[in-house]
Amino acid sequence: MKLLENQTIIVTGASRGIGRGIALRVAEQGANVAFTYLSSEAKAKELEAEIQAKGVKAKAYHSDAADYKAAEQLVTDVLADFGRVDTLVNNAGITKDGLLMRMSEEQFDAVIKANLKSVFNLTKAIQRPMLKERKGSIINITSVVGIRGNAGQSNYAASKAGIIGFTKSIALELGSRNIRCNAVAPGFIETEMTAALDEKVVAQWRESIPLKRGGTADDVANAVVFLASDWSAYITGQVIQVCGGMLT
């Protein structure tokens, strides 16, 4: 028996990186997957086919999680197409790094909107159907940067710290209805984005981590599978750090 057999899971921002890894891993565990993308339709269709090849239902939706109306419409469309939603994974996000003295108001606002308001939008939209079912799991992808901060990422750190506060609050609000809300905080995860970094910089990162390696999208996805499954039925309001011991 697969851990997520017959579940329907929404994953936002899944066309690449961690989101893609999550979508594939939950499908391997038997879940039907509805996922969003914003830019590359080709990559989205490719992922849709990969998921379907695992014997589950999958559909890609072109939707901006940072847009309140679009988030509402997404949930309406997924319910019409799949019949139910058991788990929401709020993964969509961006970075616009820079020191505060050089950071524009537009850079700050864009990151807060894409990373934090998107979590509000989708959680608000999914609340009603989950309340009706009296069951659900909401999983928000935050970051170790939201816990300890990082120079040059004040906007990103603020958005990810906000996700943690939001997660704990929703866990308190919805716990009595058997709806759980948790966060996953990845550390240094090696994706196509980090592949563009200088190898010496990456080597320094790896050396600073107790497990002496960067994480993978699968490492994050495994934590998501656990939080989506009944194995975590008594866990809510928590932040699971997937960081190789970077933060202890």
Kindly list the catalytic residues.
156
Provide the 10 A C-beta neighbour count for residue 210: 10
> For 224, what's the count of Cα atoms within 13 Å in the CB-facing half-sphere?
33
End-to-end CA distance of the chain: 34
Looking only at Cα atoms, what is the longest distance across the chain? 54
C-alpha to C-alpha distance for 44 and 31, rounded to whole angstroms: 18
Beta bridge partners of 32: 8
Left, alpha or beta for 51 (phi > 0: left; psi -120 to 50: alpha)?
alpha
Read off the tokens for 230: 């009944």
SS3 182: strand
DSSP secondary structure letter of residue 177: G
Q: Compute and round to an integer the Cα radius of gyration of the chain.
A: 17
Please report where in the chains the tokens 């990103």 appear, as a residue. Answer: 156
* Apex 26 CA angle, 57 and 67, nearest 5: 80
* Apex 59 CA angle, 178 and 195, nearest 5: 95
C-alpha to C-alpha distance for 246 and 67, rounded to whole angstroms: 34
Read off the tokens for 158: 């603020």
